[in-house]
Chains A and B, each alone.
Chain A
Amino acid sequence: MLTFRAALLCAWATAALAQAPPPLVRILTAELDRNFRVLKEKGDPAPYYIAYSVTDVDAVSASAALGALKSSGVERVRVLDVTIRVGAPKLDNYHRLRGESAQFASMVALPVEDSEAAIRRRVWLETDRVYRRASERLIKVRSAQNVKAAEDDDSGDFSEEKPATHYSMPAPLTITAEQAAARVRLLSAGFAQRSGVVSSYVSFTAQRQIKYLVATDGTRLQHGRRFARIVIGARAKALDGTDIVLGDAFDAEDQSGLPKDAAIQASIGRIAGEVAAILRAPVAEPYVGPALLSGRAAAVLFHEIFGHRVEGHRQKDEADGQTFAKSVGSAVLPDFLSVVFDPTRRNAADAVLNGWYEYDDEGVAARPVTVVDKGILRTFLMSRSPLREFPNSNGHGRRAPGFTPVARQSNLIVESTRQQPEAKLRQDLIAEIRRQGKPYGLYLRDVTGGFTTTAREGLQAFKVMPVVVYRVFADGRPDELIRGADVVGTPLASFSKIVATSNRFEVFNGYCGAESGNVPVAAVAPGMLISELEVQMKPRSQDRPPLLPPPGSAQ
């Protein structure tokens, strides 16, 4: 680990020598120096750290339904987030007060041109606004310290990290709104005349994000990445009111990396077919028993029930459930499983990973972090908010513009030493159904997502919404598709029930929403056999399908 860091430091040094700061970095730095100097001299309390972060977004988007364009557009924006820390790293204005996290940033629009006068004006005004709120909150934090019981974790509020200097520039977008529109028009026509599908869409987004960060600790960054994404979706309604929403997403760095039209059309055909099949499928009943999860389903399960619970800042939030706070060095997963968060990896299992970055939103270089090694919890995902045992960041301080960074997931990768071919895993499932004397087991093929609560006041529970679920019978009958099932459970109990994994890894790319906004993430996992999984009935609306048949159809 040490060697690895040293190597990176050398690279930074070279970059710093080789490159002059880009124009926006130079403008931001000039205003940063001026504000810091005056506030340190005249401000009471004086700031000890100021950072300006700018997110520059260039986006092209289009969406269509049934072959007709619904919207298309081009957008260019630059937003500024100002971070000011007053007090001292040991105790500052960002200190979490039971359940209340600090929020000072407000997403101010900056000129998209590198015009010094215009940019410095806005930065100056926003610095003033944030400084006022920062100093107000420090007073609140200090008085809370005096009157409240001592907190369990007395580690400080801000870690010291080696400042990075790095200037790179992602390539510009090479697709126009017209091209994007033409593609979604073509693709979305694939949903036309599909029986059962009430509404459908195909959307395309391409984005270039450039992130800038200049801070008084010497951090000078310009880096970023591109995103291209096609999302397809279909909605249907069963006669009993159950809403059926199926979809798929394709991610790549730019449009050239996305699947070809034929592959996406195939996916549209599959989804339309599944919609029709689910409409005819019997309704799920509450059930507890063995289940097989596809790699994608297992990936979402791990993201929800495991990933969110190893985010560092939760371990010292007095309002959080702190499932794993005291578990470092202990077994938290079966010993054949390890979990690595690796924002430096861009591909896995023949797919791109959505959760990669070069530097996190606090200027700390990305690095792989083994959180669980052979079942044993080794560390947490760390932002610059330290924990007693982990005084430094491991490059996972992330946020969407306008939010305060906290520890967030990147690319979650589940590794397994108990891998079996899929066919074998299925045999094991059938054996498990027999052993438990159950009428059937479940196979969860696809999920839309899930959510979890980690707050101490709430239930320490999770819910994952599978959309394609089959009953698997022990007597050789073919699998039976069912609808309206939600997987529920509590995290600690669920992990101990993982029996084995397949050798086929799948990727789930998405955007994870939490207190610091939506950030791109990925989860990679093999298929899993779980000896006991609980399924409950999905809530459903009272509405029936549309009263009149579709226009133009035989009435």
Chain B
Amino acid sequence: MSEYEHVEILLAEDNPADAELCMRALRKHHLINDIHWVKDGAEALDFIHASGAYARRNPDHAPKLLLLDLKMPKMDGLEVLERLKADEQTRSIPVVMMTSSKEERDVVESYRLGVNSYIVKPVDFVQFAEVVAKLSLYWILTNRVPH
């Protein structure tokens, strides 16, 4: 049995407070078991490609949703996005950019690289929780991905 088999949502977020709020919101909708949290872009890629620390993961079990923060150390969200969308194997994984940045150029660049959705994190926690929950439910339950 490989680890992380049930991981359906990968959260790449460097801010622990935001990560905790995110996961709490998802917990309310009983999605908590399906989340894995990584702290930077390199780790996110390792996870998806089942390399490095995650060598023992089964790469065929791709997560159903990647919640990606824009500003992360080592490798930021745009770079991760670019690599994932460039690779045949990982292109179809839905990526939702979740960030504080409203900068037009970030939005433009993200869509150019093929992001599926772009969310600006609301300052208000309640709203933030709502947004996270709603979008996760959509991408996990409503949206279909190829097997």
Determine if chain A interacts with chain B. no
B interface list, Cβ under 8 A from A: none
